[in-house]
């Protein structure tokens, strides 16, 4: 009996944050294993995004920081998400391929129910509620300290082996370059992620493990094939 297939979506959050972040994400797609991205439609780099390559692109809804009051008003939250969905289509000329949120605020009630409703109405896969298991530990910072070892080639190679099991997995990542006035507590870590995601050893490890890289446009077919298998 053949082994169960292992599918992997590598999704880069924060597309649109700045031109430099865009550049890092596109490099990690063109020369690395990133297959998908999530766009922040109101950030400075969103309007200057001229190409997304062959990536699937979803909406990275922003409902945190200055919009924190929205987290306690589901009516206002729905209006804001709908506005951002409209902005997404105006920018890219097409609907998003999936839906998630900045800092993953949609994963907890009451926003989880609201996001599930919006995703269902629009037929969009929603992070954490789709056939793809979400894995978020490829992230080089915690307790306000940088941990580049967590986004190293060695660590990602182990993650691919241990965490990408049979079925479909979404690996979250945050590649990018600094510059353009982009302010974030997560900067040098982004550049380290670009280097790791583009390292030939990672592509070789994916192939060695028999992992099939897919994007969100291929999610439904992969899930159907998994059920039939």
* Range scoring the smallest mean pLDDT among 29-33, 110-114, 115-119, 217-221: 110-114
pLDDT of the residue at 1: 34
- Checking if the pLDDT of 223 tops 50, the result is yes
Q: What is the CATH number of the domain that holds 99?
A: 3.20.20.370
On whether residue 173 sits in a domain, the answer given is: yes
Kindly state whether residue 111 falls inside one of the protein's structural domains: yes
Query: Could you give the CA distance from residue 83 to residue 119 in angstroms, rounded to a whole number?
Result: 14
On the 0-12 / 13-18 / 19+ scale of CB atoms within 10 A, 135 is middle
* Confidence (pTM): 0.94
Alpha-carbon distances, residue 171 vs 159, 179, 184 (angstroms): 9, 25, 21
**120 occurs within a structural domain:** yes
- Which class for 144: exposed (0-12), middle (13-18), buried (19 or more C-beta within 10 A)? exposed
* Percent of the chain whose pLDDT exceeds 90: 83
**Is 1 inside a domain boundary?**
no
Q: Which of 141, 213, 209 is nearest to 171 (CA)?
A: 213
The domain in which residue 50 lies consists of: 6-228
How does pLDDT run across 9-52, given as a tens digit for each residue? Answer: 999 999 999 999 999 999 999 999 999 999 999 999 999 898 89
Alpha helices in 38-73 (DSSP H): none
- The predicted-structure confidence for 177-191, as pLDDT tens digits, reads as follows 998 888 899 999 999
Q: How many domains does the chain have?
A: 1
Indicate if the alpha-carbon torsion angle 58, 145, 138, 193 is positive or negative.
positive
pLDDT at 64: 64
DSSP conformation letters of 109-133: TTHHHHHHHHHHHHT--BTTSSSEE
Query: How far is it, in rounded angstroms, from Cα 151 to Cα 128?
Result: 22
* 152-175 tens-digit pLDDT: 999 999 999 999 999 999 999 999
Residue 193 — pLDDT band, cuts 50, 70, 90? very high
Q: In this predicted structure, what is the pLDDT of residue 69?
A: 60
pLDDT tens digit sequence for 42-84: 999 999 898 898 999 999 999 865 555 666 688 889 999 999 9
Give the model's pLDDT for residue 70: 61
Rounded to whole angstroms, the Cα distance separating 139 from 157 reads 14
Coil/strand/helix, residue 96: coil
């Amino acid at each position: 009996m053949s082994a169960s297939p292992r599918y992997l979506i590598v999704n880069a959050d924060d597309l649109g944050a700045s031109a430099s972040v865009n550049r890092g994400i596109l490099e990690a797609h063109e020369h690395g294993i990133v297959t998908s991205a999530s766009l922040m439609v109101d950030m400075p780099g969103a309007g200057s995004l001229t190409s997304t390559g062959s990536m699937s692109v979803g909406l990275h809804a922003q409902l945190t920081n200055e919009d924190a009051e929205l987290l306690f008003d589901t009516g206002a939250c729905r209006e804001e998400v709908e506005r951002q969905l409209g902005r997404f289509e105006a920018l890219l000329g097409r609907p998003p391929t999936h839906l998630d949120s900045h800092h993953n605020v949609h994963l907890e009630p009451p926003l989880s129910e609201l996001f599930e409703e919006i995703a269902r109405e629009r037929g969009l896969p929603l992070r954490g509620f789709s056939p793809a298991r979400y894995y978020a530990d490829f992230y080089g910072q915690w307790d306000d300290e940088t941990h580049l070892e967590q986004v190293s080639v060695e660590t990602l190679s182990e993650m691919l082996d241990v965490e990408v099991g049979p079925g479909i997995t979404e690996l979250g990542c945050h590649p990018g370059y600094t510059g353009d006035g982009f302010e974030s507590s997560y900067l040098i870590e982004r550049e380290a992620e670009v280097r790791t995601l583009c390292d030939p050893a990672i592509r070789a490890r994916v192939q060695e493990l028999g992992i099939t890289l897919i994007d969100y446009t291929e999610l439904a077919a992969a899930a159907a094939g998994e059920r039939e298998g």
